């Protein structure tokens, strides 16, 4: 349990540091650049995400989840990934002109070609990162991630100031990947051995195929909004939508996806004890909701003055940002379910949920794209955000029922009730933004709205959440020195 607690702590440090640095860099670049540049790079990265998902999702989960793992498994997996990374990377580069043609954006060809090496770099990171995650060595992962974020941030901002435009964002991605790769291999003790025996890969294959299938489905379900925003509306709407979604995504990354990194190895060790498994999943969900929902409410409160700080080129983006905070709130209840299904040995069920969600999402966003074409870029981004919220509410409810009730045989009520104080705190924080709006101007409004919303959310959370109070008191009791008994 102590090792799990340390892993959760370092997982939060990893994600908080990365997100904090990324937020600063993103806003500096948004101030220097505009929606078009952000949109072009977002469309290119979406294209590469397909290849990276296949490489990342399959074998990582298989390596982390497998109870008995040998060096032969790792060597064979590494060899397969290098071959796959080279082949898929070349195919990605060759298909770049087609992606540009489909999106009616000629600049995508050069940008996709420049970013194509990310596929091979991803292949080189999969096994060492999976080894570190399996051993719950999130301190090492945190070091690697933070160095990559800072190095890429410096490169991106410097090039943006020099007038490089979209290439500043391209360089940021490449520097981040290369720096992360170098540091990862420096902190990982495992080293591959040259092997021609790929037979051990068969032991991982059955699980990895289902996991990769689920990963592709999840990619489709989470990226369909960006995909059809680009196909129907172009890079300006994509840039607005991507920036608006970036902050809620970052908050969910810090608060819940930090737990997601720990959830798979932690839950996998309880896969034979369903009662303990359900209790641990509920505990992790409560922590994620307490950390995530109130912060999303605060982000709604500061959205209008925050966007005002970026300048007129981002005017109107506050509305999509506030809508996507609600989308992020639904994600708080969904991101731990995937690791739970993988940990309990049901990746096929996860794949079915993911593909059902993805295909339904395609249909919904196509309809929205056809109906919202005449509007402005802000209106188009807002329409996609509304559709994403409705879709996510329905499908997250289905995923919770499938995972908690049918697979784990737990109680949905027990799973959800501990998170209600966090919901109340988030709603109260968001109400501050609706009442005050941008009444105090960008700078003063950001601090006034933010401080007031934070204070209200924190007070409500402390007053209404008994579990949280017990957790804090238990942590303080462990840290305070025991009283020394005085002799009689």
DSSP for 278-336, written as a single string: HHHHHHHHHHHHHHHHHHHHHHHHHHHHHHHTT-GGGTTTHHHHHHHHHHHHHHHTTTT
> Has residue 481 been placed in a domain?
no
Residue 112 lies in a domain: yes
- Lowest-pLDDT range of 49-63, 97-111, 455-469: 49-63
Token match 């700078």: residue?
A: 443
Q: Is there a domain that residue 483 lies in?
A: no
Task: Tell me the pTM.
Answer: 0.79
**How far apart are the C-alpha atoms of 24 and 152, rounded to whole Å?**
12
Give dist(CA 406, CA 109) in Å, integer.
46
239 with 378: CB under 8 angstroms?
no
Is 485 part of any domain?
Answer: no
Distance CA 63, CA 12 (A): 22
The pLDDT value recorded for residue 18 is: 65
- pLDDT for 67 equals 53
Kindly report, residue by residue over 140-188, the tens digit of the pLDDT.
677 777 788 889 999 999 999 999 999 999 999 999 999 989 988 988 8
Residue 389 has what pLDDT?
93
Confidence of residue 318 (pLDDT cuts 50, 70, 90): very high
CA distance 257 to 288: 8
Residues 192-212, mean pLDDT to the nearest whole number: 61
Report the C-alpha gap between 14 and 119 in whole angstroms. Answer: 23
CB contact set of 96 (below 8 Å; sequence gap of 6+): 47, 108, 109, 112, 113, 116
**Contact between residue 333 and residue 54 where contact means Cβ atoms under 8 Å apart:** no
Residue 484 lies in a domain: no
Q: Per-residue pLDDT tens for 208-227?
A: 555 566 666 767 777 888 88
* CA dihedral for 463, 464, 466, 470, sign (positive or negative): negative
Between 98 and 69, where is the model more confident?
A: 98
Q: What radius of gyration do the chain's Cα atoms show?
A: 23
374 contacts: CB under 8 Å, gap ≥ 6: none
| C-alpha torsion 381→245→458→477, nearest 10 | 160
Residue 357 lies in a domain: yes
Tell me the percentage of the chain whose pLDDT exceeds 90: 34
| For residue 203, pLDDT beyond 80 | no
Cα gap 88→86, rounded to integer Å: 6
Q: What angle do CA 448, 465, 482 make, to 5 degrees?
A: 100
Average pLDDT over residues 384-408: 88
* 3-state SS class at 345: coil
Highest mean pLDDT among 193-197, 286-290, 436-440 belongs to: 286-290
Reference 321, options 348, 350, 301; nearest CA is: 301
Token reading at 188: 């990982």
Establish how many alpha carbons lie within 13 A of residue 480's alpha carbon, considering only the half-sphere containing its beta carbon.
9
> What's the mean pLDDT in 467-484?
73
Residue 440 within any structural domain of the chain: yes
Return the number of other C-beta atoms located less than 10 Å from residue 72's C-beta. 16
Instruction: Give tens-digit pLDDT for 42-55.
Output: 999 988 887 777 66
| Range picked from 69-78, 246-255, 272-281, 456-465 for highest mean pLDDT | 456-465
The CA-atom distances, in angstroms, between 204 and each of 116, 182, 210, 307, 409 are: 27, 26, 10, 47, 27
Does residue 47 sit in helix, strand or coil?
helix
Distance CA 152, CA 178 (A): 9
Domain range holding 397? 2-476
- 273 Cβ neighbours under 8 A, 6+ residues apart: none
Q: How many domains does the chain have?
A: 1
For residue 482, what is the DSSP state? P
Asked if residue 367 is part of any domain, the answer here is: yes
């Amino acid at each position: 349990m102590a090792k799990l607690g340390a892993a959760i702590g370092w997982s939060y440090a990893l994600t908080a540091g990365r997100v904090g640095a990324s937020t600063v860099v993103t806003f500096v670049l948004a101030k220097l650049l505009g929606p078009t540049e952000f949109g072009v790079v977002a469309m290119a990265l979406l294209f590469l995400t397909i290849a990276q998902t296949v490489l990342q999702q399959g074998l990582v989960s298989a390596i982390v989840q497998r109870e008995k793992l040998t060096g032969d498994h790792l060597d064979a997996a590494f060899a397969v990934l290098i071959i796959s990374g080279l082949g898929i990377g070349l195919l990605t580069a060759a298909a770049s002109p087609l992606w540009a043609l489909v999106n009616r954006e000629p600049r995508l060809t050069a940008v996709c070609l420049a970013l194509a090496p990310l596929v091979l770099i991803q292949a080189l990171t999969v096994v060492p990162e999976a080894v570190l995650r399996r051993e719950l060595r999130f301190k090492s992962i945190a070091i690697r991630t933070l160095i990559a974020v800072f190095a890429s941030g410096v490169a991106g901002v410097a090039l943006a100031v020099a007038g490089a435009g979209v290439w500043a964002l391209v360089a940021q991605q490449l520097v981040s990947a290369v720096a992360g790769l170098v540091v990862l291999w420096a902190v990982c003790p495992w080293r591959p051995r040259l092997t021609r025996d790929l037979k051990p890969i068969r032991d991982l294959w059955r699980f990895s195929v289902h996991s990769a299938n689920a990963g592709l489905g999840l990619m489709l379900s989470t990226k369909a909004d960006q995909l059809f925003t680009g196909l129907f509306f172009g890079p300006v709407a994509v840039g607005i939508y991507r920036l608006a979604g970036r902050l809620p995504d970052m908050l969910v990354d810090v608060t819940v996806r930090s737990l997601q990194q720990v959830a798979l190895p932690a839950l996998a060790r309880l896969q034979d004890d369903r009662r303990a498994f359900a209790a641990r999943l509920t505990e992790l969900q409560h922590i994620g909701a307490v950390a995530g929902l109130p912060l999303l409410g605060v982000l709604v409160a500061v959205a209008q003055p925050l966007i005002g700080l970026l300048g007129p080129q981002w005017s109107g983006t506050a509305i999509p940002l506030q809508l996507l905070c609600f989308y992020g709130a639904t994600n708080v209840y969904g991101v731990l379910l995937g690791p739970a299904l993988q940990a309990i040995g049901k990746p096929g069920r996860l794949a079915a949920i993911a593909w059902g969600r993805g295909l339904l999402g395609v249909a919904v966003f196509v309809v929205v794209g056809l109906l919202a074409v005449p509007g402005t870029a802000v209106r188009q981004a807002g329409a996609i955000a509304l559709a994403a919220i409705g879709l996510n509410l329905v499908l997250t409810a289905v995923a919770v029922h499938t995972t908690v009730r049918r697979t784990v045989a737990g109680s949905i009520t027990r799973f959800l009730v501990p998170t209600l104080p966090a919901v109340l705190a988030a709603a109260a924080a968001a109400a501050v933004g609706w009442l005050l709006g941008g009444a105090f101007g960008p700078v003063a409004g950001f601090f006034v709205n933010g401080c007031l919303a934070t204070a209200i959310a924190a007070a409500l959370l402390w007053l209404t959440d008994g579990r949280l109070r017990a957790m804090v008191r238990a942590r303080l009791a462990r840290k305070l020195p025991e009283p020394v008994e005085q002799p009689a």
